[in-house]
Amino acid sequence: MTTIISKNKQINKFLQGERNLVLPFDLAFKESSAEDGDNFHCVEVLRLLPAKRLVLKASKDDQNVVIKIFVAAQKGEREYKKELRGHSFATASGVNVP
């Protein structure tokens, strides 16, 4: 599982249930087993369920990405596992997914 390593003001607002995030903002993530993290520049909110789930359009090294943030306290762990299963099914079916 990936963990946010630099919580910023916008992520804290999301975690507190606020709907209005100020964009753009930068966000750093780290895999639990990795030494270094990845930095992303978040430019658009694609979906926001306050204090539950946040989906962002972002970029890293000139590549566009989608970031999904799940809050474990609000069924986030279950939703995260559903996302992983869906990714596995898509990959097994030959769908080109990152």
User: Could you report the per-residue pLDDT of 50-89, keeping only the tens digit for each?
Assistant: 888 899 999 999 999 999 988 877 677 788 888 889 989 9
- Per-residue CA distances from 10 to 22, 50, 57, 58, 88 (Å): 7, 12, 14, 14, 31
Task: Say if CB 79 and CB 47 are below 8 A apart.
Answer: no
More confident site: 30 or 67: 67
97 in any annotated domain: no
Task: Supply the pLDDT for residue 33.
Answer: 66
Confidence of residue 29 (pLDDT cuts 50, 70, 90): confident
The answer to whether residue 32 is domain-embedded is yes
> Token pair 């992303």 is at which residue?
40
Q: Are 28 and 6 in contact (CB under 8 A)?
A: yes
44, pLDDT greater than 80: yes
The number of distinct structural domains making up the chain is 1
Look at residue 81 in the predicted model and tell me its pLDDT: 87
Give the whole-angstrom CA distance, residue 69 versus residue 53. Answer: 6
Mean pLDDT of the chain: 86
pLDDT digits (tens, 9 = 90+) for 9-21: 898 899 889 999 9
**What range does the domain containing 31 cover?**
2-71
Give domain status of residue 42, yes or no. Answer: yes
